[in-house]
């Protein structure tokens, strides 16, 4: 799985899934280990999607409000950060 730039939940999901799989390898494939991997993956995926939806909502707000001035600057900066574009 590749991470989504700017979305820390996607990176967290990759890390925690890897850690849980290592645990599964040491403990063996039990109901508990399989359930833990599935639940963690589901939770992280939901958080990653919520992050992306919030970013889309901020973009829509910026476009529909026709914001200008300082408020638009901060909205654009947050959008750029959430999209992983602040690596200038």
Report whether 37 contacts 21 (CB < 8 A). Answer: yes
Helices 31-65, 8-27: inter-axial angle, 10-degree rounding: 180
pLDDT tens readout for residues 22-47: 888 888 888 888 888 888 888 888 88
Instruction: Render pLDDT for 33-85 as a digit per residue (tens, 0 to 9).
Output: 888 888 888 888 888 889 899 999 999 888 876 666 667 888 888 899 888 87
Cα distance between residue 16 and residue 65, in whole Å: 39
Dist. CA 52–CA 47, nearest whole Å: 9
Q: Is 68 helix (H, G, I), strand (E, B) or coil?
A: coil
Predicted model pTM: 0.66
């Amino acid at each position: 799985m590749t991470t989504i730039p700017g979305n820390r939940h996607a990176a967290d999901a990759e890390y925690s899934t890897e850690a849980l799989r290592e645990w599964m390898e040491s403990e063996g494939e039990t109901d508990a280990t399989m359930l833990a991997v599935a639940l963690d993956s589901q939770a992280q995926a939901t958080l990653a999607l919520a992050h992306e939806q919030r970013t889309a909502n901020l973009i829509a707000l910026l476009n529909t409000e026709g914001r200008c001035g300082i408020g638009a600057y901060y909205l654009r900066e947050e959008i750029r950060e959430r999209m992983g574009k602040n690596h200038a």
